[in-house]
């Protein structure tokens, strides 16, 4: 492992971020899965209840059972939504542990992560709700942009179809659809990227909720392509893992006389529907840590690009400890002394630790 004098201070591209995230994941796979498991377990319980309630809701002739299944559906939606929010909260707690590991090689542990979560739980909850609202708005704006382009292209195709060959209109329609999809994705990630560093700003820099939102906006400059690449990579790998689990289940169900098509979900037996609803959370448990690692690396890289974070870190690792002065720094600290103390002196790394900020070999 390289020491502090061998740090690579060049900004990281999308491929470098993904490569380092995957290597860190392989190094700490079981600890990271344990960190990601509790919120995913909550979502899994909600998915199972949803499968049971939906089957009963569609088939029961009893009014009382209909009310019971309706309440069960409501509880399942709350659990699934709560699991998503809990995942964002845990991601915030994990960010501090992961950043201290990247900076000073401190161990990644479940206890440290959830201790950080407990220290700022309500602030993280408020920040998670803000992030969900902002992501919903971003998705709506991106969809609106996609819809407008598709409508414009559709009218153009209809007009051209009166005199142009069919292959020309089909080609224009395909290009227009792909262009609309690309525009929608760019709009979404441009807006969503403004708030992806909120958990890191809260737990690493010790800022309050709205200060963290403002801080994330100031850091998120030019991160659209790298964030999009990271998201598409995690999405692709998640659904690849999902297919690895779904295909054997579908084969077994088909041999047992079950129609594995989603269109026949209403006729699935209980065992197949429940097993199917558990598979997606299992794939999330396996791949959610890659997303946490990627965002932590992206946060460090943004500070390297905009604030000379690597210079500050190397000074922190090689020089003697700074005196405790009573002043407020206009710059964010390398890492706050406590999750809720933005302007205290930064933590000192253990004397035996060796930094590995960007040289993750």
Dihedral angle of Cα 66, 70, 76, 77, to the nearest 10 degrees: 150
Tokens for 29, please give them.
């796979």
If phi > 0 it is left, if psi is from -120 to 50 it is alpha, else beta; for residue 222 that is left
What confidence score (pLDDT) does residue 142 get?
A: 92
Do residues 196 and 216 make contact, with C-beta atoms less than 8 angstroms apart?
yes
Do residues 226 and 256 make contact, with C-beta atoms less than 8 angstroms apart?
no
In the chain, domain spans: 4-317
What confidence score (pLDDT) does residue 8 get?
A: 45
CA-nearest of 221, 231, 197 to 211 is 197
Question: Residue holding tokens 């794939």?
Answer: 283
3-state SS of the chain: helix, strand, coil percent to 5?
75, 0, 25
What confidence score (pLDDT) does residue 10 get?
A: 54
Dihedral angle of Cα 81, 86, 87, 91, to the nearest 10 degrees: 150
Do residues 127 and 209 make contact, with C-beta atoms less than 8 angstroms apart?
yes
What confidence score (pLDDT) does residue 141 get?
A: 94
* pTM of the model as a whole: 0.76
Length of the chain (residues): 361
Tokens for 357, please give them.
């900020």
Do residues 249 and 272 make contact, with C-beta atoms less than 8 angstroms apart?
yes
DSSP-assigned letter for residue 360: -
pLDDT by residue, tens only, the chain of 361 residues:
444 333 344 566 777 888 888 888 888 888 888 888 888 888 888 888 888 887 777 677 777 877 888 888 899 899 988 888 888 888 888 888 887 787 777 788 889 889 888 888 999 999 989 999 999 999 999 999 999 999 988 888 888 878 878 888 888 888 989 999 999 999 999 998 888 888 888 888 888 889 889 888 888 877 788 888 888 888 888 778 778 888 888 888 888 888 887 776 667 887 888 888 888 777 778 777 888 888 888 888 887 777 766 555 555 555 555 555 444 444 555 566 655 554 444 444 444 444 444 444 4
Do residues 195 and 227 make contact, with C-beta atoms less than 8 angstroms apart?
no
Furthest C-alpha separation in the chain: 79
């Amino acid at each position: 492992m390289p020491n502090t004098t061998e740090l690579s201070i060049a900004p990281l591209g999308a491929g470098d971020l993904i490569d380092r995230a995957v290597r860190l994941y392989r190094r700490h796979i079981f600890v990271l899965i344990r960190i990601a498991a509790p919120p995913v377990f909550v979502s899994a319980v909600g998915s199972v209840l949803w499968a049971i309630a939906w089957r009963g809701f569609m088939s029961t002739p009893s009014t009382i059972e209909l009310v019971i299944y309706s309440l069960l559906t409501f509880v399942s939606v709350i659990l699934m939504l709560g699991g998503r929010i809990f995942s964002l909260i845990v991601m915030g707690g994990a960010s501090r542990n992961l950043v201290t590991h990247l900076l000073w090689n401190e161990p990644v542990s479940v206890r440290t992560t959830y201790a950080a979560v407990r220290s700022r739980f309500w602030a993280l909850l408020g920040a998670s709700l803000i992030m969900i609202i902002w992501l919903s708005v971003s998705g709506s704006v991106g969809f609106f942009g996609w819809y407008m382009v598709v409508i414009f292209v559709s009218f153009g195709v209809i007009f051209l179809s009166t005199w142009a060959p069919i292959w020309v209109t089909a080609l224009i329609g395909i290009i227009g659809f792909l262009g609309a999809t690309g525009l929608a994705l760019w709009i979404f990630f441009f807006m969503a990227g403004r708030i992806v560093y909120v958990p890191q700003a809260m737990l690493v820099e010790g800022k309050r909720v709205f200060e963290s939102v403002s801080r994330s906006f100031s850091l998120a400059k030019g991160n659209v392509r790298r964030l999009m690449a990271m998201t598409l990579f995690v999405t692709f790998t998640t659904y690849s893992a999902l297919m690895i689990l779904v295909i054997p289940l579908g084969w077994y169900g088909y041999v047992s006389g079950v129609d594995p098509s989603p269109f026949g979900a209403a006729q699935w037996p209980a065992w197949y529907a429940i097993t199917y609803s558990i598979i997606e959370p299992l794939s999330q448990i396996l791949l959610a840590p890659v997303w946490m690692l990627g965002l932590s690396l992206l946060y460090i890289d943004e500070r390297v690009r905009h604030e000379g974070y690597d210079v500050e870190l190397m000074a922190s690792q090689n020089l003697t400890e700074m005196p405790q002065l009573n002043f407020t720094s206009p710059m964010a600290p390398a890492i706050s002394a406590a999750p809720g103390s933005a302007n205290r002196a930064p933590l000192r790394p253990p004397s035996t630790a060796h930094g590995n900020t960007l040289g993750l070999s």
